[in-house]
Each structure stands twice: as structure tokens, then as C-alpha cells.
Chain A
Amino acid sequence: MQNLIEIGNKTLGHLTKKGSHQSLVNVSNKESCEFNIEANKVNLIRSTFDQGLSAKVFIDLKIGSSFNNQFNESSIETLTDKAIETAQASIADEANIIAENQGQHYFHNNIEEQDSDWMNSLLSQFLEESNRLFPNTIIESSVLKFNKEQNVMLSSSGSLLTSLQTNYEGFVMFTTKEGKKSSSFNYSYFIKNKDNRPLMETSGLRELIQQSSEQINVRKIPNKFTGDIIITPACIGDFMNSILSYIETGHLLRKQSFLQNKLNEKVASSLLTVRSNPNSSEFANKLFWNSEGFLVKDEVYFENGILKNYLLSDFGARKLKEKRSVSSGTHLVIDTGEIEFLKMVKSIKKGLLVARFSGGHPADNGDFSGVAKNSYYIENGEIVFPVSEVMISGNYSQLIQNIGAVSKESINFGDAKFPWVHFSGVTVS
């Protein structure tokens, strides 16, 4: 860590000497070791070491930045020259202000050494169980990875933030194949610390692989309808990230959001509460500060359907004369509800259980459409059959108002925690 601080201080010194009025420097290094699975077999062990040095420069309300992954003297010279040149050439904007002093803090989270034997044992057990229970399912393009990451942020305002964390990260993808038939692929991911929980019991994998084994025999829905959908925890994150994009700097700065000027208004069902909890002890991975140099805190975006905060950067907040977000837009949590998932299904006369969504970019007015993948037709309170070639269409503004229920149960992915959510008024075709 001391080495990273020295490099950061040296870079700050160079920037000041070369004419930067205010500067922000991030220095990092990361060691990873990854076990890769192809076609049900571990076929590669990959070790990587990387590092990064970024400089952000403020000169007369102009900003420039540069990034390199080399720490030698000539690279630091080149990086600082480039950052200064970029800032000097830029256009002044009163919103370009460096983050104020965040103090001096050292953060750490779950420091442990890589255990390759445990990684191998976890994967071997998982592959053996998958092969035994679901012999036609192929685990492919999957990884289990150990990460050890050190980060340092220094600024001319006086901030010195340092962090060290380790964790295990996984991505598991699978397809079932029987004769000439293939299921749609599905996947889940997790970030966790070393524990005794089998991989099959992590991030809903057992249920998803079980579903994959059933999705060999899919059917088309009987007819087009407008009705109910339940979105699973593994899928709701994609929807929520799309919805949150409408309260982010990009949309709001362009004044192209259906949530523009709706702060403190009821824009969604009372059942919807969405938070960003970057410091939560529930998560194996944490975030301590953002790219603008601010410490991040927990924050609520929608509380009982009321839009409480925008997800604005400091730059965006100054442009719009609004409050900046104190969180990060990451580590999302949707608060759970009162009803069990199975009772939620029972309440639906005709609908869809959506386990993966493959959609186009939503429109500025909130319109979205895409293919419901790995999904099931629901009729008279029963999950009836897995579907094929089903398109769902709707509007996010309407969707968040039309929430029928949120499940009691939820899944913790290690950097996000989501329940099942029941929406109505979606076109299924």
C-alpha cells in the first residue's frame, strides 16, 4: 500500500509543478486467479496482475484526465503531461469543481489469501453434482475467480483514501442439450467470501439449472395478451438498472427522462423501495469512494414509490443545480414484500415468469421491448410450461406504477440483493 501512496504523491507533485490548479489521482493494483470451465471441465487456470494510475486535472474550470498502467518515471511524466494538455485544451465549465477534502481513511474488507485447493474442491463438487442431477446440462464459459485489490485516492484538496479487499467472484453459464434440442442458455453470478456453502446453493443456481433441464421442451404461448409478469431476482437487476438510468446524469442532463422534475413525487407503486448500499455488511464486495473522489454512502432512490434522490454525479448536479447522489448506483437492494413467491404465482390468472430478458435499449419515454428468455407461462395460478419466442413490451413509467406484489424471499448476489417482483399491464406476444 505504501508503494501506491508514494506513486500517488509523486504524480500529484508532478501535476502541481506542471500547472495543475487542483488534481485527483487514483492508484491501484489487482491480483486475480481464475479457474475456467468449458464443456463441464476446468480447462484453464489464469493468473493476472494489473495496476492502474489515473490523473484528473482541473485548470481554470477546465478538466482533463488520463490513465496508464505503468508506474515508472517516464510513464508518470507522460501521463501527467497528457492530463495537463487535455485540461488546458478543454472548454471551461463552472460545474468542473474538484471534490472537497474527504479526510484520511483506510478501508478493508475480508482480507484472506487465495485458497486454490478450496476453489478446486468447490468447483469439483459443483460439476459432479450438476453432472449427476442434470446429466444433459453443459456448464460452459464459466469462471471462479479470486480477487485481491488495493486502491489509493489522493487529491490536492487533502483527501487520502486507501482500501484493501479480497473476495471470490463467479459466473456460471449453462445450456441443456438432448439430441438435436438445445435449451436457451442461462447464467447467474456471485461474489462471496470463502465459506462452506456449495456452489449449487449460491445465487439461485440449483433452481436455474433445474429450469434449464426442463427448457428443452418449450412451447409458444396460446395467444398474444396484456397481462401479468413475475420477474425473478436474477433478471430484475437488468430491469432496475434500465429504470435507474432515467435518474442518472446522462438522461437528466439531456432533459430526456420521464422522471425529470419528479423528485419527492410518487412515481411508482408504494410497494417499490430501491436502495444503493455500497457499504452494506451483507455484501462480499464493497465500494468506498467514487470516480469523482467522494466517499460513498447508502442512499434510497425510490421509497414506497416516492422518488427520493436522483443518481447525479457532482458535475451533473452542479449543471442542474440539484443535489449530487451520495451513493454510487451500485450495490442495489430492492426491499422485500409480504408475500411468498408461490402465493404470488397463485394470484396470477394469465402471465409469464420472466427469468432472463434480452431487450433492446429502452426509449427516452420509457418504452421497452425484448425477448423473455428461460421463461414460463403461468395460467390459473400454476407455472404451466417453458415458453419460446415470447416478446414482452411495455413502458417503464407505467411498469413501476403497476407493481402487484414483491416477494418475501430474495437472493443476495454479493453486490446486489433482489426479490421476485410482480408487474401487470405488460404486452406479451
Chain B
Amino acid sequence: MDWNLNQNKLSGSHYTELRAQENRAFHLTMLNGEINVNRNSKESGVSARTLINGSWGFASHPEIKKDSIENVIAKSIKNADDLNRFKKQAEAFHFSKMKGAVGRKDHSFSQNKFSEKELIERLSFFDNIIAKKYPKLINRTVNFRGQNFLKEIINSENAETFEHYCRSFLFFSFSMDGQSGPVELSDFVGGIGEIESNLPEVSKFEECIDELYRHLVNKTTGVHAEAGVKEVILGSNLAGILAHEAVGHTVEADLVKGGSVAKEKFNQVVGSTLVNMTDFAHTAYGEICPSPVYFDDEGTIATDTILIDKGVLKSFMHNKESAAEFGVIPTGHARAWGFSDEPLIRMRNTAVLPGEHHLEEMISSVKDGYYLIDPSNGQADSTGEFMFGVRSGYEIKNGKLGRAILDTTISGVAFEMLKSVTMVSNDMTWNGLGHCGKKQMMHVGMGGPAIKCQMNIGGV
């Protein structure tokens, strides 16, 4: 699908960008074999954003037609003019002028689409496997979720880009009665691509659900963690959310300007020399990342941003405006969720980079602590203090895994906690299911290896 925006001339001495976009989503859920969610949606429209004398104007409309395009451009100019009228005095402003990106990327791998009937049959198929294998579950939920994002962008710096990103997942969640009430765990398979190309082989699916069931059974006799600062091994799934929440948000340039503690830590030691962290644009170690961005929503070519190199904070993440203010080249972090959203500084694929240790030797090095495996939600702070929920984990006693623990929350202050890192595993896991919420939603990738560090853990 193309909207041929390049037929619209962006004239005038000011900067303007024009974006046509369509977001599609579907969600099909079965609870114990019965459908309780079955919906799909499609939203499209066009938006324009204009910068005049340091003031931004933005306007959007759902119809992508000649007159509505002209109207949103005119309205965005009027909004910028109005804002200038409201200002009592002119302000200095900065803005990177650069040659816009030109290119196309399509991840949709077009093929024959499943009908609604075929989708439900396939979901029932996976649900039946779970029902037959694990009759002791008190609840089982399976669902398919899919998202498509199609964007065409032009700007007055001659950017012309089109991108079609899609991702889809088979998500499954199990519940059992435990000693202290029902316990629940969930997992998923999937990633970039349509659901038609993302369904797992039966053997792979059974491997996943067997692992999930094993942890769930252990959790039925789980205990509360002991509250306080503990030595922990963060599993690779938690390292990704650590990279995103603990460090990523604090080094987004808009939050740096808004008071983030990271501002004074630029080029300072913020972690042990074992800590390396990068926000990958689209490709890491030769593989496409879960949320690849080739050109951002300001028409900038997206490149990797090294955030921490051997424990030293090296970069912030920027859009055109903040890059000019900080005197650096923009690396493509301006992203918008829907057609009516303005681009904000966002992460793409933020990861802790692998080290040299093996997970087994890391666990065996802990005398009294926890191995934490599966995160739920997380949140960052301007102070660098972060938290994330943990749904699955185990005690470590004298280097051996002990009892499973019940749901808990862990927290720390990023630039202190990273100094406590003493081991980093040599493998890496990406999580491509993530959404980040910062005024708007955004799909992001998070990745990392296992990490040994000190954390505050909630419990009794």
C-alpha cells in the first residue's frame, strides 16, 4: 500500500513533515476452550508537523485525500503560528537540518491469509494440546495477537520513506491451585511477521509449554521472597527490561532535559566494566531485531546508539531537535504510535550485551540469593530508580536452586545497581512482545544475557 505523498509539495522556508499511516490489529482469545475475545481493528489517517521559529504545530485527519492533506498542512502551520503569537518573546531554538532518508522496508512476508475460521481452528488446535497434556490446570488461556504498522513519510528535507512492520504472537497462560491460592504463569512464541508465518512446530510448542508447566508446578509450593537487598541472578528476560527501564528511559534526551539524573553522568562511570548496553536500530549480531527501525518518523536514517561502553555512559537518545541542542547527529529515535500522534524520543531495541560467564557458574557462585526468570511490568524514574514485577524465580542457597518464589517486585537505582554487576552470561535473549507507554504506546525490543548483581526485592 502506498499513498504517494511525494506528490504533495512541502513548500515554505520552515520545516514540515507529512506522514500517512495505517495501524491494524487483531486479538483472538480462548479461555478453557471458549472464545471470550474476538476483535479486529484498522485505523488510518494523515498528519503534518511544522516548525516555525522554534514553535511546533501538528494536525491530523483520518482521511488520506488531497484536500485533507492540504488541510492538515495548513492547520499545522496555523498551530505553529498561534504558538508563536502566544509567546511573549522569541526564543533561541536548535534543529538539525540534514538530508532526509529515502527507502522502503516491508516485513509483511505476504502470503495467503488465514480466514477467521482457520484462525480459530489453529488456536483450538494449540488449546487442545494443552488441555490433553495438563488436566490439572484450573485455567488455560491461549490467544493470537497481531499488529501491522504501515507508514509513509516525506519531509521538507527530501525524506521519502515507506515502512511496513508487523508482528504476531501465540500467547499462553496457565493457572493451578497452590498452597497460598491460585498461581499463574505465561509465555509466548512469535515475533516479526504475520501470524501465518509465525505459528510454531508442535514439538517446539510442546517444549515451551512443558517448561512453563514445570515452573508453574514448582510455584504451587512457592514461598514469599525475603524482603531486602539481595544478591540476584537476573535471567536474560529480565536483563532486557533492565536495559529499557533502568537505563533506557533515563537517557532519552527529552527526559534528560526534564531533569533525569543521567544528565551529569555523561562520560562518567555508571557501571562495572562488564556492563555494555546498546539501543540497536534494526540489526544486532547479524540478526534482525524484534522492533527494527530503518528510518524514524522524522525521516532520519536510524543507526545504533551505544549507551554504555565498559561501564561508561556514552550517549543519550535524540530526535532532530534535541540532537541539535546537544550538538550531536540524530540517530533515529523519533517514533509515533498512531497517525494522530506526534513523534517522541523512543527506544528501538535496547539490550545489555553478552559477557563471558555461563549461567550455571553464575548460579553456583551465589551463597544466599535469588534467580529471577520472568518479568511482568516495569517502570523507570528520573532518579534512575526502577522497578519491575517478577512472576517466576527461585531461591539460591549455597550455589543451588531451591524453592520457587511467589510473585514479587524488584527495584534498584540504575547507576548504583550497575556498579554491583559482577558476572554477565555469554548468551542473549530478545523479547519482542514489549510495549512501552510514554504518552503514547510503542512497540519495542528488549534483550540481554543473565546478570549477577544486587537488588532490593519485595516480600515478607
B-chain residues with CB within 8 Å of residue A330 when the two chains form the complex: none
| B460: A residues at CB distance < 8 A | 393, 427
Q: Which residues of A contact B377 (CB under 8 A)?
A: 360-361
Considering only residues 57-87 of chain B, those with a C-beta below 8 Å from chain A are 57-63, 75, 79-80, 82-83, 86-87
Whole-angstrom distance between the Cβ of A26 and the nearest chain B Cβ: 12
Q: In the complex the two chains form, what is the Cα distance from A392 to B411 in whole Å?
A: 11
A175 touches B259 (CB 8 A): yes
Other-chain contact of A370, B42, B59, B257, B458 (Cβ < 8 Å): B458
Cβ of A38: which chain B residues have Cβ within 8 Å of it? 254, 257-258
Instruction: Indicate if B44 sits at the interface (CB-CB under 8 A).
Output: yes
Q: Which residues of B contact A48 (CB under 8 A)?
A: 58-60, 340
- A176 within 8 A of partner (CB): yes
| Residues of chain B with a CB closer than 8 A to A388's CB | 383, 385, 413
Query: Which stretch of A13-21, A59-67, A279-287 is in the interface?
Result: A59-67
In the bound complex, do residue B258 and residue A138 qualify as a contact, i.e. CB atoms below 8 Å apart?
yes
CA distance A192 to B136 in the complex (A): 51
Contacts of A65 in B (CB 8 A): 38-40
Question: Using a CB-CB cutoff of 8 Å, which residues 25-49 of chain B contact chain A?
Answer: 31, 34-36, 38-45
A366→B45 CA distance, assembly (Å): 43
Q: Mark A362-374, 1 if CB is under 8 A from B, else 0.
A: 1111110111010
* Stretch in B181-189, B283-291, B295-303, B425-433 with 4+ CB within 8 Å of A: B181-189
CB-nearest residue of chain A relative to B340? A48
In the complex, whether B456 has a CB less than 8 A from a CB of chain A is: yes
Rounded to whole Å, the gap between the CB of A43 and the closest CB of chain B is 6
Assess the B411–A389 pair: CB atoms within 8 A. yes
B62 touches A393 (CB 8 A): no
Cβ-defined contact, B59 with A89, below 8 A: no
User: Is A175's CB under 8 angstroms from B224's CB?
Assistant: no
Asked if B147 is at the interface of the complex by the 8 Å CB criterion, the answer is no
Check A369/B409 contact, CB under 8 A, given A48-B59, A48-B340, A358-B379.
Answer: yes
- A88 on the B face (CB < 8 A): yes
Residues of A within 8 A of B117 (CB): 88-89
In the bound complex, CA of A90 to CA of B39 (Å): 11
Residue B56 CB within 8 A of the other chain: yes
List A contacts of B408 (CB < 8 A): 360, 369, 393
Shortest distance between the CB of A82 and any CB in chain B (Å) = 6
Task: Report whether B259 and A176 are in contact in the complex, using a CB–CB cutoff of 8 Å.
Answer: yes
- The stretch from B162-170, B304-312, B326-334, B387-395 touching chain A is B387-395
Least Cβ–Cβ distance between A358 and chain B, in angstroms: 4
**Nearest Cβ on chain B to A91's Cβ, whole angstroms:** 5
Q: Chain B 349-387 against A: per-residue CB contact (8 Å), 1 yes, 0 no? A: 000000000000000000000000000110101110101
Residue of B nearest to A72 (CB): B63
Do the beta carbons of A46 and B59 come within 8 Å of each other?
yes
Closest residue of A by beta carbon distance from B173: A254
Chain B residues whose C-beta falls within 8 Å of the C-beta of A258 in the assembled complex: 181
CB-CB < 8 A to B412: which residues of A? 389
B259 touches A138 (CB 8 A): yes
Q: How distant is the Cα of A392 from the Cα of B119 in the complex, in angstroms?
A: 43
- Given known pairs A50-B62, A69-B42, A69-B44, the reply for A358 and B381 (CB within 8 Å) is yes
Residues of B within 8 A of A68 (CB): 41-43
Residue B158 at the A interface, CB < 8 A?
A: no
Q: What distance in Å separates the Cβ of B297 from its nearest Cβ neighbour in chain A?
A: 14
Size class of the B contact interface (CB-based, 8 Å): 35 or more
**Cβ-closest chain B residue relative to A49:** B61
B-contacting 9-mer, from A177-185, A347-355, A410-418? A177-185
- Known: A69-B42, A255-B138. Is A140-B255 also a contact (CB below 8 A)? yes
Task: Judge if B401 is at the interface, Cβ distance under 8 Å.
Answer: no
Report A227-271 CB contacts with B as 1/0, cut-off 8 Å: 000000000000000000000000001111010000000000000
With a CB–CB cut-off of 8 A, which chain B residues contact A193?
none
Residue of B nearest to A124 (CB): B86
Which chain A residues lie closer than 8 Å to B60 at the CB level?
A: 47-50
Tell me the residues in window 58-92 of chain A with beta carbons closer than 8 Å to chain B beta carbons. 63-70, 82, 85-86, 88-91
Known A68-B42, A256-B184, A359-B409; judge A393-B458 contact (CB<8 A): yes
Q: Tell me if B261 is interfacial: C-beta within 8 Å of chain A.
A: yes
A363 to B1, CA, bound (A): 44
If A46-B79, A70-B44, A371-B385 touch, whether A362 touches B261 (CB-CB below 8 Å) is: no
Which residue in B119, B383, B389, B457 is a CB contact (below 8 Å) of A182? Answer: B383
Partner of A358 from B36, B119, B120, B387 at Cβ < 8 Å: B387
Q: Does B439 contact A (CB under 8 A)?
A: yes
Q: Is the CB of A367 within 8 A of B407?
A: yes
Whether A86 pairs with B382 at a CB distance below 8 angstroms is no
Tell me how far the C-beta of B285 lies from the nearest C-beta in chain A, rounded to whole angstroms. 31
Is residue B4 within 8 Å, beta carbon to beta carbon, of the partner chain? no
- Give bound CA distance, A120 to B88, whole Å: 11
**B91 interface contact, C-beta 8 A:** yes
The distance in angstroms between the C-alpha atoms of A71 and B184, with both chains bound, is: 42
Residue interface bits B140-165, CB-to-A below 8 A is 1, else 0:
00000000000000000000000000
Closest approach, in angstroms, between the C-beta of B175 and any C-beta of chain A?
Answer: 6
Nearest residue, chain B, Cβ from A75 = B42
Interface residues of B (CB under 8 A from A): 31, 34-36, 38-45, 54-63, 75, 79-80, 82-83, 86-87, 91, 115-117, 119-120, 138-139, 175, 180-184, 224, 227-228, 254-255, 257-261, 263-264, 340, 342, 376-377, 379, 381-383, 385, 387-391, 406-409, 411-413, 438-439, 456-460
Name 9 A/B residue pairs within 8 A (Cβ), A-sorted: A68-B42, A85-B115, A177-B259, A183-B382, A358-B387, A359-B409, A361-B377, A365-B181, A367-B224
Q: Which 9 A-B residue pairings sit nearest by Cβ, starting from the closest?
A: A360-B389, A365-B181, A369-B458, A140-B258, A175-B259, A89-B116, A429-B227, A45-B79, A67-B41
| A38-B257, A69-B62, A256-B138 given; 11 more Cβ-contact pairs under 8 Å | A45-B79, A48-B58, A48-B59, A181-B261, A185-B258, A363-B184, A371-B409, A373-B385, A393-B460, A427-B459, A427-B460
